[in-house]
Structures are given as structure tokens and as C-alpha cells.
Amino acid sequence: MAILDLQNLTMNPEEATEVSKAIFIATITGGDLSEYHEIETGVTHKRQIPFIGNLGLVGKKQTGCNRSENGASIPLTEKFWDPVLIGDRLAHCATDVNALLKLFKKAQRVNPDFYDRIGSEELGLIIAKVEQAMKKMNNRLVWFGDTAADNVTDSGVITDGVDVAFFNILNGLFKQIFAEVPTSAKNYVEISKNAGASYGAQALDPNTALGVFRAMHNAIDARFFEAIEEGAQPELLVTRELYQNYWDQLEDKSLAFTLQEAREGVNAMSYRGIPIKVRHDWDNNIRSYQDNGAKYNLPNRAILTVKENIPVGTVSEEDLGNIESWYEKKDKKNYIDFDLMLDTKHLLDYMTVAAY
């Protein structure tokens, strides 16, 4: 299949003649991983992440010269980086572009210029779109990856018709967090509307978000605050409806808030000093790929943690957006490849409060 699909494009004498005249449809990528995660580089194979625990109680009253030994010990546990090699290839043939399409500048001679599109506007456009798709892929796998992913008809949560091979590459953070912060955990906060039996029933009631954020903050472990004092970077990652619900309530209660936000911008939003970061890409993934036809899978989610607790592992940060392109004379095609190693880890369960 041609990478530039022209079947819905009408050719006529008034067609656009410059790429700058085209409208680029917006997409939600989620942005760079480094905005939300610490990036651990040099991760090429299964590698140990040791956790050094704490010594128990020490110090007793002493009444003589002979002392009994304290039997306390320092426990050590572990997790492992287990990066997965991810890649893809796309091909573009010059003949896939209709000769009448004037959007791209044409070659002045047939061989090799007609076929070799390296450096051309059309291949530049394709590469830009691949880079965009890679950002979406990175965020999708880091959060929604699940090695046991299945479609709804197979008792999974992936929308029927969606290829689960785009999800079952590695276990992402939601899979890990749901296992380590289950509904029975003290650092779990329920969002009851997620249990609604329809899209409408899952919509949040007014003033819900503030209650969720308050309960999450109250569930924070004391070690979380200590980590912040030592330089850790806290963040409250939320789906859009929670974010909008909180914004609406603050606007309703305070004109001063509205004016301040107008001056400082959306990125100034916080709760009790912890920056709130709305994850539009979460909403996009849930609504596009976790829809059973009647409702979404946990459409309202919030994760309160520190960046250092949800690191991403890779060989090189440059690989996360690095693309290779070349022209193959034998095939008379232009190829675009990318390869990267990727893994992510939820390190300490007590450093996270999860609402879902």
C-alpha cells in the first residue's frame, strides 16, 4: 500500500501547488518522554535494578559492658531492566504519487531523479510524519504496553479490529501500577464513574476532580515528601476530563484564579504545589484503542508520583526519534527505518498514588 494515500484527493486544474498550502491535520503525540520521565541510557540488555532497604530499630539502654547483638538486617530486593528492540520500515515509490499532483516538485529527469526522492519535499513530509508517529508510539508503549494484550472479543480491553501487536511489546506503566497499587492498596483512590456501563455514565460529575486530588494528596506516603525535599520532581498526571473538571470548579469559585491563569498560562496549573500535567495522549489512546463499543476502559485516571519513579530505559535518548532513510536502486524505492530499545519501570509503589 502506498504510504501517500491519494484516493480521497481530487485532481483538478486548481489543485494546490505548494506543500505550504496544505493543511496538516493535528495529532496527539504526548510529547517527549523526558517531560514526564527520567531517561536511563545505556540500557541494552537485562540489567539489575537493586533496591537497598532500611535497617530496623536500633538503640537500647545499656547497663553493663556486655552487649547483645542486634539481629536487624538491611533487606535488598531487585527489579530488572528488560529492554525490547522495536522497529519498523516504510517504503515510498515515486510512482505512487499521481503525476497530476502538483503539490510536490518533480524531478527534471527520469533516472535516477524521478525514483530517488531522498531530500525531496514529499519524503521530507513522510519523515516528519514518521517522527510524529514515533513519539506517539513511545508514549503508547510506555503507558499502555501489555505483553498479555488482547482484543475485547478475546476478553481483553483492546478495541476489536486493532492489531494487538502494537501493544504487546512490553509491560507499560499502567500494567505495572495496576498490579503494584491495586484497588485494595492504601495509596489507591477510586474514581467511581469509571465503572459506568456507558460512555455517558462514565462522565464525571461537577466538582469531582478536587475530591480525587485531595484524596490522592492525603494518601501520599511520608517518604514521598522526603524525596521532594531531596530534589525529586513531583508530578500529577491526569486525563483531560479530570483536568477540565478541576479547572471548571476553580473558575466557578474564584475570579482571581481565572485572571492569574490567564497571565501564567495552562502549564501553571498545580494542586498544593504539585504541577498538574494533562495527558491528552492518555485520552486519545483510551478512546481509540480501549473501547468495547459501549464504554471505555478506565477513561478517568490520575497518577501522582515523581519523575524519578517512572524512568524509561533505552540505549540512547537520540534513538527515541532517530530515523534512517535511503534510496535502493535495485527496488527503485525509498526506505525509512527506525530501531530503538525501550523499557520502563515503576520502581517504588509507595512513591505513587494511583486514581482509576
How many of the other CB atoms lie within 10 Å of CB of 111? 10
The helix (run of H) or strand (run of E) holding residue 131 is helix 121-144
Contact 49, 88 (CB under 8 A): no
Is the pLDDT at 1 greater than 80, yes or no?
Answer: no
122 versus 204: the higher-pLDDT residue is 204
Nearest to 279 by CA among 195, 103, 119, 287: 287
Residue ranges of the domains in the chain? 19-52+75-355
Show the cell assigned to 285: 489512546
Q: What are residue 88's DSSP bridge partners? A: 338
pLDDT in tens, 201-227: 999 999 999 999 999 999 999 999 999
Q: What are residue 341's DSSP bridge partners? A: 85
pTM: predicted TM-score of the whole model, two decimal places: 0.88
Cis ω for the linkage preceding 112 (within 30 of 0): yes
pLDDT in tens, 12-71: 666 666 666 666 777 788 889 999 999 999 998 888 888 787 778 888 888 888 888 888
Cis ω for the linkage preceding 83 (within 30 of 0): no
pLDDT on residue 68 = 83
Domain 19-52+75-355 CATH assignment equals 3.90.1690: yes
Q: What are residue 22's DSSP bridge partners? A: none
Q: How confident is the model at residue 190 (pLDDT cuts 50, 70, 90)?
A: very high
CB-count burial class (<10 Å; 0-12, 13-18, 19+) for 351: buried
Between CA 140 and CA 136 the distance in angstroms is 6
Could you tell me which residues come within 8 angstroms of residue 217 by beta carbon, excluding any fewer than 6 positions away? 271, 272, 274, 304, 353
Residue 41: half-sphere exposure toward Cβ, Cα within 13 Å: 7
How many of the other CB atoms lie within 10 Å of CB of 33? 21
